[in-house]
Amino acid sequence: MTDNSTEPRKGARPGNGTAQVRIVIPEGNSMVSLLGSGDELLRVIENAVSADFHVRGNEITVSGPVAETTLASRLFEELTELVASGAELTPDSVEHSISMLRRKTGARPAEVLNLDILSNRGRTIRPKTLNQKRYVDAIDAHTLVFAIGPAGTGKTYLAMAKAVKALQAKAVNRIILTRPAVEAGERLGFLPGTLYEKIDPYLRPLYDALHDMIDPDSIPRLTAAGTIEIAPLAYMRGRSQPVDTPVLTPDGCTPIGDLAVGDLVIGSSGEPVPVIGVYPQGEMDIYRVTAQDGASTLCTANHLWAVKTRDHGDHPSPFRVLLTQEMIGNLRAAHDHHRYELPLLSGPACFPDREVPMNPYALGLLLADGCPAGSTTPSLATAGQEVARTLGQLLPGPDVCHESGPDYARNRVRTPGQVMTAQATFVPEAYRYNSADVRLGVLQGLLDSDGGAVVLGAGTARIQYTTESPRLRDDVLFLVRSMGGVAYWRSRPAAGRSRGRVRGRVLPHGHDAYTLDIRLPAGIQPFRLAGKLDRYRAHGGGHPQRFIESIEPAGRAEAVCIAVAAADSLYTTEDFLITHNTLNDSFIILDEAQNTSPEQMKMFLTRLGFGSQIVVTGDITQVDLPAGTASGLRQVQDILDGVDDVYFSRLTSHDVVRHKLVADIVDAYERYDARQAAAEPGRLQPGRQRRDGNRAR
């Protein structure tokens, strides 16, 4: 392809080491593609390379200093390979190729500039410099990547392209784009328009980049569905609950504000998972999220929920993550069906085994149909001899004796200390916060006495249970929910029911009654009595589901956020509602990160969920934080230096892909800062930190 000659060219001064190179372009390669329309690209080469160029047919002759002719020879080899691969040469790509070769980085422009990231509407996005390629490769190889460099180096644009590509390849479920709105601060309220109109100018660069890569008509649909979220960094912190909100732990419910790193909470599988982060959020607006079974909890507007929707006919979609505020006003689908289904425990909640004074099933029988007491003999009202016989087998000591009609009673205790210890109207805590076998035993006893299988019109069966004790009603709800089931209840006031008669005498009104409709997961046996169990099995039971009924404002309160070490980041809050606050299967970009405080940076990085990736971009020479506030991006370089799966990509003026003048401006400022630092030894250069612990402001 090349023919080198060391004969001095005309006009060259002796001893200059001049040479002449003849470059033959292989047939089949378009000279127009290589040299540009109207020789536009050739002029770029002539301005950058100190040599003479002569083109004739498919031959290019280059005369000049040896170093320059060698550079030109290598350049045309790379450009020819790029054209052969289908790449479209531009003045920028030619300039960057020359820069790479002149700097002797060892990288081949044909490899760097031929890496396609994303194509949209006939336009292909590629890295244009070696550092940009290293940056893009680092995103593929690392979970957390920091891109630090001056404006115009493609930090955000390339990260956005990788995010869109990951979404299209279904490697992630959503893209989250955020940047700090530093200038908004307290002055945000003085700007005209709605909140979103006020913050829009700070997010506009992200929108602009997104419109280059995705069909603009689809962006509103993707943002409405939560697939793409664009928000100020301050909104990222709101994924929290009020400090007094109960969170389920192996030892019972604990206020979320009392949890610490290392504590255990119950995850969506029912197994304990450790808390790996606790982040106070300050006072925030609070909403109450209520499910249609009556379960409810409090959270902030930006708290995250895993939900299914009926987007595909009657078949729910896979779980996806939405903000509380995204669901407000959109809770009903067609025909007034509930739109958002919440997850349930995939297995019974795991509480530690505890010794109990009475067989759990026997306790359930006595609580529902009998009258256990601490100082009297337990009695049982049942028409079933099977129940009475079972109770006699389970309880030690005295026998069950038939008194009259449906009434049975235990004989008086025969030995000192032989006392039955149970409460008449509720399930003791030792039974509620116990193993799944103990809880199920109590529930089976309750259902065998005062419950049964009710066959629905479609042929399936649900479980129905009735009690007059509001406390026992709540305990049955607890037992059902702790097994991954759902229970709905309704009341029947005593005053509205007809009065019964005994021996001709009208009975007075009793107590209000509560009827519970229960659905348990497949594989959980709600009855032990053969007749009830056979009826339930014959009709297949029911599939438990829980939907969001309402989301209502609930004032303001101090809030806190926790992160848990679970694969799905879910934890169990009050009423066995499953929720979470980290970002799974997401591509997250934090732009303009130099304007984050150290606290904001820590908050943001700890939002990383499983299957997610974070790219942080910023220019540490352009900090706009108030005086006295350190830059989180400057500080994090020392904190995370050397941490596995974290990569710092450092871009320079050589990587500026805007107007060439931008690179010259960046270089001029760097020279100025260097002169100032030399003149004032105590002065800190932008982007550097004092090693005595004081941060550059």
Boundary residue ending a domain (114, 146, 169): 114
Indicate the length of the chain as a whole number. Answer: 697
Please indicate, yes or no, if residue 119 is contained in any of the structural domains.
Answer: no
pLDDT at 272: 95
Q: Domain check: are 533 and 555 in the same one?
A: no
Q: Domain check: are 79 and 109 in the same one?
A: yes
Report the C-alpha dihedral over residues 236, 237, 243, 247, rounded to 10 degrees.
Answer: 40
Residue 193 has pLDDT above 60, yes or no: no
More confident residue, 662 or 251: 251
Residue 222 has pLDDT above 50, yes or no: yes
How many structural domains are present in the chain? Answer: 4
Residue 447 has pLDDT above 90, yes or no: yes
The segment with the largest mean pLDDT, out of 196-200, 345-349, 384-388, is: 345-349
Distance CA 697, CA 674 (A): 17
User: What's the mean pLDDT in 287-295?
Assistant: 96
Residue 409 has pLDDT above 50, yes or no: no
Least confidently predicted of 214-223, 456-465, 525-534: 456-465
Tell me if residue 316 falls in helix, strand or coil: coil
pLDDT at 612: 86
Confidence of residue 10 (pLDDT cuts 50, 70, 90): very low
Please indicate, yes or no, if residue 677 is contained in any of the structural domains.
Answer: no
pLDDT at 412: 41
Q: Residues 328-376: pLDDT tens digits?
A: 988 988 777 889 999 999 999 999 999 999 999 999 988 865 445 444 4
Distance CA 134, CA 136 (A): 6
pLDDT at 419: 39
Return the percentage of the chain with pLDDT > 70, whole number: 77
Q: Domain check: are 194 and 261 in the same one?
A: no
Model confidence, pTM: 0.63
Please indicate, yes or no, if residue 122 is contained in any of the structural domains.
Answer: no
- The answer to whether 478 and 432 are in contact (CB under 8 A) is yes
User: What's the mean pLDDT in 545-554?
Assistant: 95
Give exposure, 160-198, as e/b (b: 16+ Cβ within 10 Å). Answer: bbbbbbbbeeeebbbbbbbbbbbebeeeeeeeeeeeeeb
Q: Domain check: are 371 and 490 in the same one?
A: yes
Confidence of residue 648 (pLDDT cuts 50, 70, 90): very high
Q: Domain check: are 378 and 433 in the same one?
A: yes
Q: Of the candidates 268, 297, 296, 265, which has an alpha carbon nearest to the alpha carbon of residue 278?
A: 265
Please indicate, yes or no, if residue 630 is contained in any of the structural domains.
Answer: yes
Confidence of residue 311 (pLDDT cuts 50, 70, 90): low
Residue 433's CATH number:
3.10.28.10
Q: Residues 111-140: pLDDT tens digits?
A: 777 777 888 766 788 888 888 989 999 999
The segment with the largest mean pLDDT, out of 17-26, 607-616, 644-653, 683-692, is: 644-653
Report the C-alpha dihedral over residues 261, 263, 264, 268, rounded to 10 degrees.
Answer: -30
pLDDT at 388: 64
Q: Domain check: are 221 and 294 in the same one?
A: no
pLDDT at 506: 60
Q: Domain check: are 289 and 417 in the same one?
A: no
Residue 629 has pLDDT above 50, yes or no: yes
More confident residue, 137 or 319: 137
Distance CA 478, CA 443 (A): 10
User: What's the mean pLDDT in 209-234?
Assistant: 80
Residue 629's CATH number:
3.40.50.300
Please indicate, yes or no, if residue 697 is contained in any of the structural domains.
Answer: no
Residue 544 has pLDDT above 50, yes or no: yes
Three-class HEC string of 484-534: CCEEEEEEECHHHCCCCEECCEECCCCCCEEEEEEECCCCCCCCCCHHHHH
Please indicate, yes or no, if residue 446 is contained in any of the structural domains.
Answer: yes
Q: Domain check: are 91 and 136 in the same one?
A: no
pLDDT at 361: 94
DSSP-assigned states of every residue in 157-225: HHHHHHHHHHHHTTS-SEEEEEE--TTTGGGGGGSSS-HHHHHHHHHHHHHHHHHHHS-GGGHHHHHHT
pLDDT at 141: 94
pLDDT at 189: 46
Q: Domain check: are 369 and 487 in the same one?
A: yes
Confidence of residue 608 (pLDDT cuts 50, 70, 90): confident
C-alpha 423: how far from its chain's center?
44
Residue 601 has pLDDT above 50, yes or no: yes
Please indicate, yes or no, if residue 691 is contained in any of the structural domains.
Answer: no
Residue 315 has pLDDT above 60, yes or no: no
Confidence of residue 405 (pLDDT cuts 50, 70, 90): very low
* Domain containing residue 640: 130-234+585-672
Distance CA 653, CA 640 (A): 25
Q: Domain check: are 375 and 476 in the same one?
A: yes
Please indicate, yes or no, if residue 598 is contained in any of the structural domains.
Answer: yes
Mean pLDDT of the chain: 80
pLDDT at 392: 63
pLDDT at 527: 94
User: What's the mean pLDDT in 169-176?
Assistant: 88
Q: Domain check: are 568 and 589 in the same one?
A: no
Q: Which residues, other chains included, contact 336 with Cβ-Cβ below 8 Å and sequence gap of 6+? A: none
pLDDT at 404: 43
Crossing angle of helices 632-639 and 598-605, in 10° steps, is: 60
Residue 33's CATH number:
3.30.1370.10
Q: Domain check: are 367 and 229 in the same one?
A: no
The segment with the largest mean pLDDT, out of 139-143, 578-582, 651-655, is: 139-143
Residue 278's CATH number:
2.170.16.10
Is 484 exposed, middle or buried, given 0-12, 13-18 or 19+ CB atoms closer than 10 A? buried
User: What's the mean pLDDT in 11-40?
Assistant: 74
Boundary residue ending a domain (580, 605, 628): 580
